[in-house]
Structure 1
């Protein structure tokens, strides 16, 4: 099998006419200021186009001729408006425009066929009502914008399962969390932290709930992994009042992630405290030389790993389990009971997890399970019992999805489903 082409090699072949019949184009990070016209020569075959990490300020109107195009990524460019031409792509399923300068979303720019829309980290202050005509929409990523309200008629988005509204400009809970959104029948993963109506509570959690751990008391070692919000390193914590302790250090890698803000994740992690079903936290890093925010977490042994992999482009909102993966009945029950107990604890702290997935559930192969990653976690609105009840139900729906996935890979499926009922 030949090695895949690099973006530079792809561009060279495209320009020389040697990509006739191609269905995918990877033109990432090439410094392009406009889409090469040769792309349009593939109008009859092109299905996936990735032009992320360039310097594009628009997309050509002729792109609408690519009638088979179902996936477009143009993140990290210089777009000031969502290109209206995208709304004329009849099969457009997935659109990623993260980290541009988009302030305007024209009504005609949203194709009704959209299933997955990523507009994270832009400058959008309002969305057109045509968003609610995207009846296939399952995943809506809007963190890191300037939204103050959502379109009306959200009840039309009955297939919507995951929504990210964190780090916007919502002053009131009822604007970020309108009844029509909370009542959507399939909504299971929702993030809304880092908005003005959360500011006081998040600040209080960081300043009162967390132990400050000095950077110079940490000996940071190898990188263990990377998530949406940060890098995880092994480290030794030289405790001032105790013996050295092996820990994990999470250093946040950006101002805005797909889920929200580092400070919101820190606040939720600290407010959740300790519980047998949570990974837990030792404290907040103080005095990093570059000012990088971070958390000091327990270090797990090599036996621990995620229960499944994160969703793929095709699965959209569903985790990917290993082929043929099966669970013994007692182990499956232990995992689900631990997850349910951890979720009950968070709800008692007036927190939603917002991302209860198998890929955020660490297991040790013997039935031990720890819920981790608070990147999408959010406090419940203060003195608002109806919204609290709705947010609780949304998290529980995610738990039901998890139970169904595990039950499908277990010899006692009904008992596993009942474990979270």
Structure 2
């Protein structure tokens, strides 16, 4: 994080990214001194409610973050910034978005946790749009014109007031990651025989990690006379970019058990502060993330280590276990919504675990499985490009990837069919 004094002294001359969070109520004029170098401007966590009309003086600006401020409308000046492709205004009080505020080069729009009841039809003219994050608003519909945004790959519309998913969603050829839980049309079924764990039976140890929706701790769970090491997730109880924590909990519990899923043991009750909590298996040592999450530049695609390579046997095991886990979820009518390499844990021998149900949604429309198959196609592409082995076998996986990636989702295979194909390839 930078400081105003650094900015004013000239110490930051030539930087390409500026991060300022210091209670700003006005846009600092000194930022214009960086006009010839600044590409990323992060003013999140301030008290701003407007941006200056001469913002386009920052002629190299590609990314702007103004989350956690006091904006009531998306500033129209953004639409006049020629290179601006990523706009993030999460957690403001934005109730209106005008067509004038939409940059021509827009790829990634974040308006999570605002007060939007509608969006302009002109959003459909942003033909480069890949990522649209609208969770936690009051939207009752989406503009039909968005069907023209054929490059859309990720959409977050959880926790709104939508009565149905629009049919045009199923015509988007690249859509792979979708979250819509917490809308009136998306009801979580009752979880059958979910185990209830009493808070008093847990001994909390060190914190293991933190995600968008909660904190994860190591814990000891006393069951009768035995003690079991487990993981405890304490939900923050607030909206995330993907949706609502209670929807994540419901999906985790409904998912049931599968060897390639980081499932849930049960719901924890009687927390002293009534914090929602979930008990999960403790992940054994030796696992690491298959890849890192997307960068600002890659937008929707995960980041792998440049030297990362896989054996054919390892790739086949990863793909088979993830396809089988996805088939298990879809048999329960659960859309994972975030089927990504960065949500897959991997051991050296190819054993995998799929986690993070933050974007999961319950569904009844069978076409939604085919949207998730597109996500699997991207994963397949990433792995095959980093796999060494028989070219004939690789050609078989490439053919499968082509089928999973078809623009017409009706022509894509189901996860059960995908797993059968991978099993056949593995046996050759």
Task: Calculate the TM-score normalised by the size of structure 2.
Answer: 0.89
Asked whether the 8 Å contact 1:209–1:270 carries over to 2, the reply is: no
Take 1:21 and 1:400, find their aligned partners in 2: how far apart are those partners? 41
Q: CA offsets, 1:5-58, max 9 Å, x none?
A: x422xx213223454444322112x00011112223333432211111001111
3-state SS of the aligned residue for 2:310?
coil
Matched, 1:194 2:182: yes
Matched, 1:398 2:375: yes
Task: Calculate the TM-score normalised by the size of structure 1.
Answer: 0.91
- Higher mean alpha-carbon deviation, 302-311 vs 393-402, is at 302-311
Could you tell me which of 2, 20, 23 is aligned with 1:7? 2
Asked whether the 8 Å contact 2:123–2:145 carries over to 1, the reply is: no
Matched, 1:414 2:399: no
Matches within 5 A, 1:3-402: 6-8=1-3, 11-28=4-21, 30-170=22-162, 172-173=163-164, 177-199=165-187, 201-202=188-189, 204-205=190-191, 208-239=192-223, 241=224, 243-381=226-364, 388-402=365-379
3-state SS of the aligned residue for 2:207?
strand
Deviation, 1:370, is: 1.5
- Higher mean alpha-carbon deviation, 222-231 vs 185-194, is at 222-231
Q: CA offsets, 1:162-194, max 9 Å, x none?
A: 110101111x22xxx211112100000000001
Take 1:185 and 1:342, find their aligned partners in 2: how far apart are those partners? 24
Q: For the structure 1 residues 313 and 284, does the alpha-carbon distance in structure 2 shift closer, same or farther, using more than 3 Å as the test?
A: same
Deviation, 1:123, is: 0.9
Segments of structure 2 that go 5 or more residues without pairing to the other structure are 401-417, 422-428
Segments of structure 1 that go 5 or more residues without pairing to the other structure are 1-5, 382-387
Q: CA offsets, 1:382-414, max 9 Å, x none?
A: xxxxxx232111101111111111111111433
Aligned to 1:384: none
Take 1:85 and 1:159, find their aligned partners in 2: how far apart are those partners? 25
Take 1:225 and 1:414, find their aligned partners in 2: how far apart are those partners? 39
Take 1:91 and 1:350, find their aligned partners in 2: how far apart are those partners? 41
- Higher mean alpha-carbon deviation, 336-345 vs 244-253, is at 244-253
Take 2:323 and 2:54, find their aligned partners in 1: how far apart are those partners? 51
Q: Aligned pairs, how many? A: 398
Take 2:331 and 2:33, find their aligned partners in 1: how far apart are those partners? 58
Take 2:202 and 2:387, find their aligned partners in 1: how far apart are those partners? 42
Take 2:89 and 2:173, find their aligned partners in 1: how far apart are those partners? 27
